[in-house]
Chains A and B, each alone.
Chain A
Amino acid sequence: MTHSTVQPTPASATPEGGHLLELRDLHVEFRTNEGVARVINGVSYHLDAGETLAVLGESGSGKSVTAQAIMGILDTPPAVVRSGQILYQGQDLLTRSEEQRRQVRGKEIAMIFQDALSALNPVFPVGWQIGETLRQRAGMSRADARRRAIELMDLVKIPGAAKRIGDYPHQFSGGMRQRVMIAMALALDPKVLIADEPTTALDVTVQAQIMDLLADLRRDLNMAMILITHDLGVVAGVADRIAVMYAGRIVEHADVRSLYKAPAHPYTKGLLESIPRMDVRGQELSTIKGLPPNLMRIPSGCPFHPRCPYVQQVCVDVVPHDLVLGDGRTSECHFAQEVRDDSAR
């Protein structure tokens, strides 16, 4: 990126040896009239400069809520961040004032959302919406913001950007709309890009294009990326590491290769086994029995135990804690070794 209007962040940067972004034992709950839903129950993960972390999980596993907690855009109430730390460049965002957190949004950490049609404001032209960030946050003039918005739309490969700048979101195709969303997130040169299911609302072919674009942009602009998805297929080619979430916890954490090769948590194993494979004939697809838990009544012990084929009495009684498996892998399973050995076979 070769423009000088966005000032580089002061060299406060990440302290030596620390991570760019680190979550420590984050707890979030939603307090509603029906009761308290424990949505995030001790999530810890980290992200280093220039890497891609995939956060994988089904709906309701807490992956989006975690991202929104990082951005500070949770609706409070009903959401309450009960405890934990969100360290960005070594500083805990949760202790900062709302004004300080607002400064971080878009400029340090930017986010793109699942459904670009509803995530973009329907009554403003896309160029105006991209330019708004530049005008409001970088103090650009109307003309400069417009010029830069066209550049950004070119960057995300929207054909005829200069001509389409006055178009409204509904006049774009789904894929192009998501590109607009991405252009908007890139406006202030963020160091971290959180992509919350960026391809879920799109056709399969368009999905691949958007994923490629994100991977290219991440590399070219040297950002770190958190890719939130429920689609294991999307993750493989793009991510460096994967964190698998279940019932508001990170149940398994590993680099992509070893996780695909030998998952060490029964949940991850179940997920992988439920994907049809091109290279195996006559394979019977397995499913994970049961439903994700009700977050107002999370099962005792390991929250996955009612659905787990490896279940023992200990799983019902004791909450498993991270079992370190070497190579930076962890699994929250009492039988992690066993599961991994089973999977590797």
Chain B
Amino acid sequence: MFRYILRRLLQMVLAFFGTTLIVYALMFAGQGDPIQALAGERPVTEAQRAYLTEKYHLDATGVGGFFYRYFDYVKSLLQGDLGQSLTGRQIGDILQAAWPVTVKLALIALAVAIIFGVTAGVIAGIRRASIFDNSTLVLTLLVLGIPTIVLAPLAQYFLGVRWQLFPPTAGSEPTFYALLLPGIVLGSLSLATALRLTRTSVAENLRADYVRTARSKGLVKRRIVTVHVLRNSLIPVVTFLGVELGNLMSGAIITEGVFNIPGVGFNLFRGIRTEDGPLVVGIVSVLVVVYLVSNLVVDVLYAVLDPRIRYE
């Protein structure tokens, strides 16, 4: 297990450099004149241009120059310096402010998926082909079919504006209550998937041979379901939810955009829109790390949950 984790960590280093390189290349390849992009509409004086050219090593051209700047960037990245955005703010500071909001939102979404999705999935799995099972099937297909870009404004309009059950937008220092509606919207997709997955897994495990054995031992039905079946059925569900938490942490661009939540996704969206290269690359670099780490945690968790899995 230890060797497996070590190997995975080494792979993560490669994956990290690979993804940052690609994002860095994509972000800056499109720019004609980075100095003009930095300055925006304002004119740039010769002195300023000379200063910036030297600061960002823009005099080195071609592929060599690109790698020169990339390694420059990685060097400061490894020292914990994400650099400045085009607006002059420290990217580290931006993330520090955005991260807690995104984490809160992700946890709300995950809680919604677990509390409603897994519970309903277990019930639907036990009562296969019942009215409950069929109605959850229709509802989940509906949710899975509606993209967030439609669902989020609809929820905002009806629940926030029309019936005023929730604050329609979150604002700069969002409370738990203000994050609740976006959390539910964000979590609804994970909820639907978790429900379908749990339902299938429970239904499948109820038919397993070991359930027949448990019955022949004379165990009560409740114990067979809650101990034997659930312990097995939840292995894929927990794995899914782990990966999903990684996804949710990487920022919900659309949800945060619609509800005006100053989280990671919101800042990333703004960075892309304003062609703020350093900001986008900075955020994505951190997201890559979050994603890689959460995936490793899920794989390790999987081995803990299922004794048949052994990593060598």
Contact B216 A136 (CB under 8 A): no
Which residues of the partner chain B approach A111 to less than 8 Å between Cβ atoms? 216
Closest to A168 in B: B307
Which residues of the partner chain B approach A170 to less than 8 Å between Cβ atoms? 307-308
Which residues of the partner chain B approach A151 to less than 8 Å between Cβ atoms? none
Known: A115-B209, A136-B223. A123 touches B232 (CB 8 A): yes
Known: A103-B218, A107-B218, A170-B307. A119 touches B223 (CB 8 A): no
- Bound complex: CA A54 to CA B201 (Å): 37
B42 contacts chain A at the CB level, 8 A cutoff: no
Closest to A121 in B: B210
B214 contacts chain A at the CB level, 8 A cutoff: yes
B138 contacts chain A at the CB level, 8 A cutoff: no
For the complex formed, measure the closest distance between the CB of B11 and the CB atoms of chain A, giving whole angstroms.
Answer: 27
Contact A137 B218 (CB under 8 A): yes
Q: Which of B179-208 contact A (CB under 8 A)?
A: 208
B219 contacts chain A at the CB level, 8 A cutoff: yes
For the complex formed, measure the closest distance between the CB of A103 and the CB atoms of chain B, giving whole angstroms.
Answer: 7
- B216 contact from A105, A121, A123, Cβ within 8 A: A105
Contact B308 A118 (CB under 8 A): no
Count of A-B contacts with CB under 8 A? 77
B231 contacts chain A at the CB level, 8 A cutoff: yes
Main secondary structure of the interface of B (DSSP, over half): helix
Closest to A114 in B: B209
A304 contacts chain B at the CB level, 8 A cutoff: no
For the complex formed, measure the closest distance between the CB of B251 and the CB atoms of chain A, giving whole angstroms.
Answer: 35
- Bound complex: CA A132 to CA B212 (Å): 15
- Bound complex: CA A133 to CA B224 (Å): 12
B55 contacts chain A at the CB level, 8 A cutoff: no
Contact B213 A120 (CB under 8 A): yes
For the complex formed, measure the closest distance between the CB of B71 and the CB atoms of chain A, giving whole angstroms.
Answer: 48
Contact A104 B307 (CB under 8 A): no
Closest to A111 in B: B216
Known: A113-B209, A115-B209, A118-B209. A123 touches B307 (CB 8 A): yes
Contact with A along B214-227 (1 / 0, CB 8 A): 11111110010000
Which residues of the partner chain B approach A187 to less than 8 Å between Cβ atoms? 217
- A73 contact from B215, B231, B308, Cβ within 8 A: B215
- A106 contact from B216, B228, B232, B308, Cβ within 8 A: B216
Q: Which of A67-123 contact B (CB under 8 A)?
A: 68, 71, 73, 102-107, 110-111, 113, 115, 118-123
Contact with B along A186-211 (1 / 0, CB 8 A): 01100000000000000000000000
Contact A118 B208 (CB under 8 A): yes
- Bound complex: CA A106 to CA B208 (Å): 19
Contact with A along B147-167 (1 / 0, CB 8 A): 000000000000000000000
B306 contacts chain A at the CB level, 8 A cutoff: yes
Contact A122 B218 (CB under 8 A): no
Contact A184 B217 (CB under 8 A): yes
Contact A118 B219 (CB under 8 A): no
Contact A118 B217 (CB under 8 A): no
Which residues of the partner chain B approach A110 to less than 8 Å between Cβ atoms? 216
Query: Which residue among B216, B231, B232 has the maximum number of chain A CB atoms within 10 Å of its CB?
Result: B216
Contact B307 A122 (CB under 8 A): yes
For the complex formed, measure the closest distance between the CB of A242 and the CB atoms of chain B, giving whole angstroms.
Answer: 24
Contact B212 A113 (CB under 8 A): yes
Closest to B205 in A: A121
Contact B218 A121 (CB under 8 A): no
- Bound complex: CA A137 to CA B218 (Å): 8
Which residues of the partner chain A approach B213 to less than 8 Å between Cβ atoms? 113, 119-121, 181, 184
For the complex formed, measure the closest distance between the CB of A83 and the CB atoms of chain B, giving whole angstroms.
Answer: 23
- Bound complex: CA A118 to CA B306 (Å): 15
Which residues of the partner chain A approach B212 to less than 8 Å between Cβ atoms? 68, 73, 113, 119
Which residues of the partner chain A approach B228 to less than 8 Å between Cβ atoms? 121
Give 9 closest A-B pairs by Cβ, nearest first: A105-B218, A106-B218, A118-B209, A121-B210, A168-B307, A73-B215, A111-B216, A119-B213, A119-B209
Using a CB–CB cutoff of 8 Å, the interface residues on chain A facing chain B are 68, 71, 73, 102-107, 110-111, 113, 115, 118-124, 132-133, 136-137, 168, 170, 181, 184-185, 187-188
Known: A102-B220, A105-B217, A184-B213. 8 other contacts (CB 8 A): A73-B212, A115-B209, A121-B213, A122-B232, A123-B306, A123-B308, A133-B219, A136-B218
